[in-house]
Copies of this chain bind each other. A is one copy, B any other.
Amino acid sequence: MKIAVDAMGGDFGPEVIIPASLAFLEETPEANIILLGQEDLLRQELLRHGASNHGRLQVQHAPQVVGMDEAPSQALRGKRNSSMRLGIDLIKTGAADALVSAGNTGALMAMGKVILRTIPGIDRPAIATTMPTRQGKTLMLDLGANVDCDAHHLYQFAIMGDVFARLVMNLPRPSIGLLNIGEEEIKGNETVKEAAVLLRGSSLNFHGNVEGSDIYRGTTDVVVCDGFVGNVALKVSEGLAQMIRTELKEAYQASWYGRLTAVLSLPVLRRFRDRLDHRRYNGATLLGLNGIIIKSHGNADAFAFAQAIRVAAAEVRHHLIANIAQEVQVLLAEHQETTA
């Protein structure tokens, strides 16, 4: 297994990405990594980690870097020699099985679409990631790639989510929920209602509509929504979790008594923090492309970035792309039979 790693992306670049890559190689003896970036920078950092001659780590020079705020169209035209673009080229030629990048999401998606194209039968790729729930994990998609989706796009997201959950999350028959709104007057917009009809008519394990609160309850294994709603849900969660962490900290620091009990509570608070540690959920898949691209959070540390590489490795191991391509064909055929 060969994984390309864009060493220039994210807030910290090689400083974080190289130790993460080395940690991943350490635990995965069958894996090779191709690091892409400015060669002297990468060599320096490898030297610092005493890994200048790692047998399963290769450096490929990329003179350009895609900026975090660069317009995707501009990156696409002007950054043909960037670490991001050369990484995607490696997938295209078969020299790598996957790419992991903490860089500009829009540019990554745009380049992925143009160079790799989508899986036949999939119109638009989606951004997918697992979220922690009371029971374990829920796969959610789309998290921001598509702001205006029609019912067929949501249906395709469900197909991809099903394959991902079966292979990568090891669930024999994952339940699929369609994100909708609750008790209020009109239950959902037209797109969601239409998507529900498509899903109900398919052989997928469609649970029905779910509400925002069902995500963390783990009501279904997969939650499907359009990218606008998914992105808001994700960011609202980040904001609330951060506020709660800060409030909890302040409550403990407000008095000498609080500070004392905080010290005593440390093992408990650590256990709590670890359980919900967002770094453990790092690594979103650009699902639907004809190749595996994993997006790491821009501010990932080495622990979090290694997690994103693990997601890539799991998808390579389970031949995710070929399996999605196959299921899409089966379900599309089934759909045509039903409507014929």
Contact = CB atoms under 8 A, between A and B. Distances in A.
Given A244-B276, A248-B272, A144 B261 contact: no
Given A216-B236, A236-B216, A264 B267 contact: no
Contacts of A77: none
B184 A145 contact: yes
18 contacts: A132-B243, A144-B182, A145-B184, A181-B228, A212-B231, A212-B233, A212-B237, A213-B238, A213-B242, A216-B239, A217-B239, A229-B229, A254-B271, A257-B267, A257-B268, A258-B271, A261-B268, A264-B264
A216 B240 contact: yes
A232 B179 contact: yes
A333 interface: no
Given A236-B215, A241-B240, A247 B231 contact: no
Given A233-B233, A261-B268, A276-B247, A213 B185 contact: no
Nearest to A258: B268
Most B C-beta atoms less than 10 A away, residue of A144, A213, A214? A213
Contacts of A257: 267-268
B105 A183 contact: yes
Contacts of A271: 251, 254, 258
Nearest to A190: B148
**Chain A interface residue number, banded:** 35 or more
A246 B276 CA distance: 12
Interface of A: 68-69, 72, 104-106, 109-110, 127, 132-134, 144-145, 147-148, 179, 181-186, 188-190, 211-217, 225, 227-229, 231-244, 246-248, 251-252, 254-255, 257-258, 261-262, 264-265, 267-269, 271-272, 275-276
Nearest to A275: B247
A272 B179 CA distance: 31
B231 A233 contact: no
Given A181-B147, A246-B134, A261-B261, A212 B227 contact: no
A231 B172 CA distance: 32
B185 A212 contact: no
The quantity of this chain's copies bound in the complex is: 2
Contact of A188 (B147, B182, B215, B217): B147
B241 A212 contact: no
The 7 tightest CB contacts between A and B, nearest first, are A212-B235, A213-B239, A106-B185, A212-B236, A144-B184, A251-B272, A216-B239
Contact of A189 (B106, B228, B234, B242): B228
B229 A228 contact: yes
A231 B184 CA distance: 9
Contacts of A182: 144, 231, 235
A136 to B, nearest CB: 12
B268 A105 contact: no
A228 to B, nearest CB: 6
